[in-house]
Amino acid sequence: WALFAEDVEAILELKRTRNAVILAHNYQTPEIFHCVADIVGDSLALAREAMKVDADVIVLAGVYFMAETAKIMNPSKTVLIPDVEAGCSLADSITPADIRLMREAHPGVPIVAYVNTNAAVKAEVDICCTSGNAAAVVRSLGVPRVIMLPDQYLARNIAAETGLDIITWAGQCEVHELFTAADVRQLREDHPGVTVLVHPECPPEVVAEADFAGSTAAMSHYVGEKRPPRVVLLTECSMSDNVAVHYPDLEFVRPCNLCPHMKRITLKNIRRSLEENLHPVEIDPEIAARARRSVERMLAI
Ligand code: 13P
Ligand code: SF4
């Protein structure tokens, strides 16, 4: 605590003087998640909550596409991302030009973009989804065939869940692609009775071996509701740290892969972002308006 106290206190004071709120993703480190964040959640919750923020400033403790989504949904606010290099391998895997080529190649097939995309990509697609609502989004379209991009694993997992014909893109999350089905089998051998929860960005063969697959918020709810005595969350490292705090009676087995982008956000750069107004997210208004339409369609489901 001694390591963090000065920055935590400075951030709490800066939030008051600047009328700011901090939105933090479930993968942020515990000192951010538990000590300075006002709102925490998965990508879906952060998009919804960003719309409702009444403060002057939103600091997004997460990755760049999340800060962009907050700006898209609440454009009159100052949205700060403490490190502009906090990217995402999925968002980096696809461009607006790629979307236009997909449309030409598959005329009339609706395009669903994962929120892990940049604003210019969101502006080109028909609707967005998150890992928390992807199945509901594709079903809502009422057609047998959809394009879902850029995460090929999420798309294949949703195809298996819904039985729909889903055209994929060759993107992957650099964190979740590392988990294997052999890892799950080994965990079960090493930790008898363990309940295995996985994120749907994991490859389908990993999901097939798991007890449950869901968004970071869905994993959290599963633990709260079912109280598995021994549990493993196959996802980013901080997730178990953040959830385990609430359940000292449960045993969390903790193999994990770190997201280097999420870990670029620290107490120090959150403090600096509030002190020096770093780094405000700006989006071309025409692109932002079209991207907003895709996010709003998703939120309406
Ligand atoms: P969630 O929407 O499940 O929080 O996932 C976001 C993410 O980046 C997962 O890697
Ligand atoms: Fe992107 Fe994967 Fe990091 Fe999530 S965990 S921000 S999907 S690279």
3-state secondary structure 74-95: CCCCEEECCCCCCCCCCHHHCC
Which residue from 28, 33, 43 has its CB within 8 A of the most atoms of ligand 1, so it is best to mutate? 43
Closest CA to 49 of 57, 40, 59: 40
Q: Do domains 5-87+263-282 and 176-258 have the same CATH topology?
A: yes
Q: How far is the CA of 214 from the centre of ligand 2 (A)?
A: 15
Query: What share of residues in the chain are helix, strand, coil (percent, to 5)?
Result: 45, 15, 35
Within 6 A (CB) of ligand 2 lie 63, 88-90, 116, 173-175, 201, 236, 259, 261-262
ipTM for the predicted complex: 0.98
Which residue from 173, 176, 199, 237 has its CB within 8 A of the most atoms of ligand 2, so it is best to mutate? 173
Could you confirm whether domain 91-173 is CATH 2.130.10.30?
A: no
Which residue from 131, 151, 219 has its CB within 8 A of the most atoms of ligand 1, so it is best to mutate? 131
Residues 291/124, Cβ–Cβ less than 8 Å:
no
pLDDT given for residue 3 in this prediction: 82
The fold of the 176-258 domain, in CATH, is: Rossmann fold (3.40.50)
For the chain, what are the domain ranges?
A: 5-87+263-282, 91-173, 176-258
Closest CA to 151 of 86, 199, 212: 199
Q: How many CB atoms lie within 10 A of CB 28?
A: 27
Give CA–CA dist 23/190, Å, rounded.
Answer: 37
Give the residue carrying structure tokens 């178990």. Answer: 240
What's the chain's length in residues?
301
Give CA–CA dist 266/110, Å, rounded.
Answer: 39
Architecture of the domain delimited by 5-87+263-282: 3-Layer(aba) Sandwich (3.40)
Handedness of CA 40, 41, 44, 45 (dihedral sign): negative
Q: pLDDT 10s per residue in the chain (301 long)?
A: 778 999 999 999 999 999 999 999 999 999 999 999 999 999 999 999 999 999 999 999 999 999 999 999 999 999 999 999 999 999 999 999 999 999 999 999 999 999 999 999 999 999 999 999 999 999 999 999 999 999 999 999 999 999 999 999 999 999 999 999 999 999 999 999 999 999 999 999 999 999 999 999 999 999 999 999 999 999 999 999 999 999 999 999 998 899 999 999 999 999 999 999 999 999 999 999 999 999 999 999 9
Q: How far is the CA of 42 from the centre of ligand 1 (A)?
A: 6
pLDDT given for residue 2 in this prediction: 77
pLDDT given for residue 255 in this prediction: 86
